[in-house]
Structure 1
């Protein structure tokens, strides 16, 4: 699995469809084929966003939803660790896992408590399971659940 590095890669992956959601996370997916912009030929276009095939992954953990850096880093590490374990179930595409809601600080007072890590891990496992289920039979473009949820 390769990691997204540039802003353009993240933006392209986020512009794809949302393939799975949980209470705190969303998984976005974008195909690796990126056509040249209108008016440009493939020869004169800029370097490709995805220099190699495979599964690409990025993690977005905004400060808005995880105020402490230690919490953001712990969540990001969980995302990459679980994605490595689930890479075989994900299609060859660019994926971004985005934290979309805060974990309750009254329930998880410590920034890196075992309970918080377990809650994050459980929810990420659900997210990747839903994404794998959605990519199974050509349903990779349809989101899991209603758009407003």
Structure 2
């Protein structure tokens, strides 16, 4: 019975493979965006907007691809495969996931960075002046960062003064 239950962890390998394929898709998307930026430069546009937007969009896509790679490794190595201690110790720190809370924290950190890059990309692509409505995304970033800070404090070891 225990063996059957433990074998269900291999279902998580599907999530890991999905994240890896998603990362490849995002890397492809980033390369296409960079090629678009090079194409705009080759055409000799006087406006710097298209290449800047392409580079910012590519950076956004590369960043999200890297995040998906981290999640793919984190899920596979942290929850699917049982590595010996010596092999696990030689892995980079970002690949040693011990509990689901670490993935949650990493996800929130990445969402904050992704939203910040997305905000800057939106501003770079904007044709007109920013309005007050453009402050919604930075406000969300600020609130998420505050929530992350509160989460970190709640999981920090409590030291009592006697």
Confirm or deny a common fold (TM above 0.5).
no
Larger radius of gyration: 2
**TM-score, normalisation: structure 2:** 0.27
**TM-score, normalisation: structure 1:** 0.29
Q: Identify the structure with bigger relative contact order (alpha carbons < 8 Å, sequence gap 6+).
A: 1
Q: Which has the higher strand share?
A: 1
